[in-house]
Copies of this chain bind each other. A is one copy, B any other.
Amino acid sequence: MSSTMMDVPLTLDWIADRAERWFPDVEIVSRRPDKSLTRTTYARVIARAKRLARALGAAGIKRGDRVATLMWNHAEHLEAYFGIPLAGAVIHTLNLRLHPDEIAYIAMDAGDRILIVDDVLLPLYDKVVASGAKFERVLVVGSHGEHESYEAFLEAAPATRALPRLAETDELGTCYTSGTTGRPKGVVYSHRSTLLHTLVAAMPDSLSLSHADSLLPVVPMFHVNAWGLPYIAAMVGAKVVFPGCHLDPPSLLELMATERVTIAAGVPTIWIGIRDVLDAKPGHYKLVPNVRMIVGGSAAPEQLIRDFDRHGLTLIHAWGMTETSPIGTVSRLPAALEGADDATKYALRARQGRPVPFVELRVRNENGDVPADDTTSGEVHIRGPWISASYVGGHTPERWTDDGFFRTGDVARIDKHGFIKLTDRIADLIKSGGEWIASQELENALMGHPAVREAAVIGVPHPKWSERPLAAVVLKDGQLCVADELRTFLASRFPKFWVPDAFVFVETIPRTSAGKFKKTELRDTYRDWKW
């Protein structure tokens, strides 16, 4: 026998219709390239998204076709987030921080038929085309020049064309991993996976998004769908403040103050820059009390959490990746530990936390699941309804276990509270004299030193130990620090053999398009280090 419940698919039109019907007047604010702000509403964004969907259908876009975006975070990108899937098509958010060759490869691999591009990104678009990408049509938001206008495309949409009836297993969007090795690999999200991710991400112990929030997604909409935030915001009816292309700390802080932002989301680099400005100009920006700052993408140093607490801002640690939609874990202090001492609480908040509902997570090494002893390390395996089961084209099937878990490539320990702590990427572990050293742990400790702004630790070939750690350190403005001081600082926290043998002081550390340290480049630079 079967239940008496209605058979209703989990499809994006539920969120679109909800925002349009119940939150019509909630504001969507966008920062434009000239730094001006424009304001629209959910009613208008969704009406335009539906218009886009009809226009795409009229243009011959069929179920499963790929439509790409090359855009910053703003209202038109939100229209594409809804309009493309409502047409039955698949939104492919191209990462504008990648090399044009790589963007071209990804667009061709996905088979993108139409591209929607910001006028300010046309120079990049030209390079992508020069690198071999071909699109049937290119729609330009803003000054379109000799190209086709996005606005004209919308205006020409038929007024009455029916949108396709969606199934929950239909494809909704596709993203490519910006891996540091090998070609980028694609995953494809379904309507079902996206909607379940949206529900779980909004929960109080996840990101806790409500209709009363004003959300600033600093994380780009071309990075794993801005962590799902555009869909979460529309579902709960939160105001959204899009920063456009202006991601410098003063521009962001100004937006946070004037638009009464209550929650923001971005990678550690962004927050380090914001912290530095707040330190330099305490009290200058009148922010809402207790703004929550979601940090993900890479591990946030504990010191950063402490620093923001001083400024009345709360950093909340989350973890995930392209293959996980992305939210896998969120760090929320267990209720039982609210009375614990600061050291315990900060240490827990700097961990990546516990899995959200419907995510099964285990940390495994060659002996099986690691004990919750906070000592034994293993690789994080993960399973759930918004975790990818493969890459497009079936590349590297060895990333999945026989029992259906995704091998994340992240190394972690787990403590008695069930909190995971990422210590490294498997590829970044340093093997010294037969023992493993976790580079990220050293980095986050170094970033707790008052003179250090950023630090990256890599393994460099060594004649005797196979590899030894080398630390590349960026000091804060006006700070002086010698290697011996950092060596002593680390020696009190780690086994002696973990302490880097070499410290180099540099201006900047190379980063990937996702804001992570580009360790391949660092390793190339220092490969011939003379020990």
Quick check: B199 and A204 within 8 Å, CB to CB? no
Taken residue by residue from 139 to 177, chain A's Cβ proximity to chain B (1 for < 8 Å, 0 otherwise) reads as 000000000000000000000000000000111100000
**Inside 8 A of A22's CB, which chain B residues have their CB?**
354-355, 418
Whether A236 contacts B205 in the complex (CB less than 8 A), given A199-B199, A211-B334, A358-B14, comes out as: yes
A208 at the interface (CB under 8 A from B): yes
The number of residues on chain A lying at the interface, defined by a beta carbon within 8 Å of a beta carbon of chain B, is 67
Identify which of B5, B193, B404 contacts A189 (C-beta below 8 A): B5
Across the interface, do B210 and A204 meet the contact criterion of CB distance under 8 Å? yes
Q: Could you tell me the distance between the alpha carbons of A239 and B5 in the complex, rounded to whole angstroms?
A: 30
Q: Is the C-beta of A202 less than 8 angstroms from some C-beta in chain B?
A: yes
Determine whether A423 belongs to the interface, using a CB cutoff of 8 Å to chain B. no
Write the nearest CB–CB distance from A450 to chain B, whole angstroms: 33
The answer to whether A203 touches B357 (Cβ under 8 A) is no
Q: Roughly how many angstroms separate A107 CA and B8 CA in the complex, as a whole number?
A: 29
Which chain B positions have C-beta within 8 A of A208?
A: 204
Contact A6 B236 (CB under 8 A): no
Asked if residues B3 and A188 are in contact (CB atoms below 8 Å), the reply is yes
- Which residue of chain B lies nearest to A64 when distances are taken between CB atoms in the complex? B1
Q: Which residues of B contact A383 (CB under 8 A)?
A: 6, 8
Q: Does A389 contact B (CB under 8 A)?
A: yes
Q: Which residues of B contact A357 (CB under 8 A)?
A: 14-15, 18, 199, 235-236
Smallest CB gap from A355: residue in B: B22
- Chain B residues positioned under 8 Å from A418 (CB to CB): 21-22
User: Nearest Cβ in chain B — how far from A62, in angstroms?
Assistant: 11
Q: State whether the Cβ of A74 lies closer than 8 Å to any Cβ in chain B.
A: no
Can you list 6 A-B contacts (CB < 8 A)? A6-B387, A10-B196, A10-B358, A199-B199, A203-B210, A204-B208
- 10 A-B pairs with least C-beta separation: A3-B190, A204-B210, A5-B193, A212-B335, A8-B385, A6-B389, A3-B188, A199-B199, A4-B388, A4-B188
Give 15 A-B pairs besides A5-B187, A18-B357, A196-B199 with Cβ atoms closer than 8 angstroms.
A2-B190, A4-B188, A4-B388, A5-B190, A5-B193, A6-B386, A6-B388, A10-B385, A14-B357, A199-B203, A203-B210, A205-B210, A205-B237, A211-B332, A212-B338
